[in-house]
């Protein structure tokens, strides 16, 4: 496991920065193209394809994990853009598992449109992460990278703890995306 200093040095490599930025840009373009063909009756009211560029860090972590076997797992999928980034940077060589309840109107329909185009081989569990532990363990996961980006309230963190703590402990790497707003 690298130290923060080693991680910062790794991320500062301009060649790597260019390559991750390029893949993130291409992923964004693919999503925009797919959004343009999304039937109106499947579209969410919310148009955002993702929320911020910091998720690019996942791309660097996937490079860092080259040669380490295991799955890419994400709690909190939204429309799938961060999962597609991880999948592409991992050369589509890993099993990809996403967990999300998709509760907003048309969220599942819109996500499924992108999934068919950009993540055809990925596996999804539709549900709240706090209730999905058992289903997830049945998939016999070996986790290379766990991205926790689902519910951001303290309640979510507390409820996730029993189900996901063992997964987090056995993962090669974890990235937790937090909210900057106190709730």
Ligand X SMILES: C[S@@+](CC[C@H](N)C(=O)[O-])C[C@H]1O[C@@H](n2cnc3c(N)ncnc32)[C@H](O)[C@@H]1O
Check residue 59 for interaction with ligand X (CB under 6 A): no
Residue 10 or 28: which CB sits closer to ligand X?
28
Site for ligand X in 82-101 (CB under 6 A): 82, 99-101
Q: Binding string, 100-139, against ligand X, x = CB under 6 A?
A: xx--------------------------xxx---------
Q: Does 50 bind ligand X (CB under 6 A)?
A: yes
96 vs 74, 109, 119, 122, 157, CA distance in Å?
Answer: 8, 19, 9, 5, 22
Q: Looking at beta carbons only, is 9 or 21 nearer to ligand X?
A: 21
Contact flag: residue 31 with ligand X (CB under 6 A): no
Per CB under 6 A, the list member of 27, 34, 77, 163 interacting with ligand X is 77
As measured in angstroms, the least distance from the Cβ of 135 to ligand X is 12
Q: Work out how close the CB of 147 gets to ligand X at its nearest, in angstroms, rounded to a whole number.
A: 7
Q: Decide if residue 75 touches ligand X (CB under 6 A).
A: yes
One-letter-per-residue 3-state SS of the chain: CCCHHHHHHHHCCHHHHHHHHHHHHHHHHHHHHHHHCCCHHHCCCCCCCCCCHHHHHHHHHHHHCCCCCCEEEEECCCCCHHHHHHHHHCCCCCCEEEEECCCCCCHHHHHHHHHHHHCCCCEEEECCHHHCHHHHHCCCCCEEEEEECCCCCHHHHHHHHHHHHHHHHHCCEEEECCCCCCC
Q: How many residues bind ligand X (CB under 6 A)?
A: 20
Within 152-181, which residues bind ligand X (CB under 6 A)? 156
> Minimum CB separation from ligand X for residue 130, in Å?
6
User: What is the contact surface with ligand X in residues (CB under 6 A)?
Assistant: 50-51, 55, 74-78, 81-82, 99-101, 128-130, 149-151, 156
């Amino acid at each position: 496991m690298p130290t923060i200093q080693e991680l910062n040095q790794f991320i500062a490599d301009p060649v790597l920065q260019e390559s991750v930025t390029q893949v993130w840009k291409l992923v964004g373009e693919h999503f925009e193209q797919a959004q343009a063909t999304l039937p109106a009756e499947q579209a969410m009211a919310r148009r955002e394809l993702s929320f911020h560029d910091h998720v690019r860090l996942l791309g660097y972590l996937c490079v860092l994990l080259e040669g380490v076997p295991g799955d890419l797992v994400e709690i909190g999928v939204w429309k799938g853009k961060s999962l597609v980034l991880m999948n592409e940077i991992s050369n589509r060589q890993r099993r990809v598992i996403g967990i999300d309840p998709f509760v907003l109107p048309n969220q599942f329909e819109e996500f499924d449109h992108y999934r068919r185009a950009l993540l055809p081989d990925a596996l999804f569990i539709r549900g709240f992460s706090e209730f999905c532990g058992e289903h997830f363990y049945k998939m016999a996961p070996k986790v290379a990278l766990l991205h926790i980006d689902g519910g951001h309230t303290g309640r979510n963190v507390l409820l996730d703890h029993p189900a996901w703590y063992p997964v987090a402990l056995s993962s090669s790497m974890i990235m937790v995306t937090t909210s900057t707003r106190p709730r």
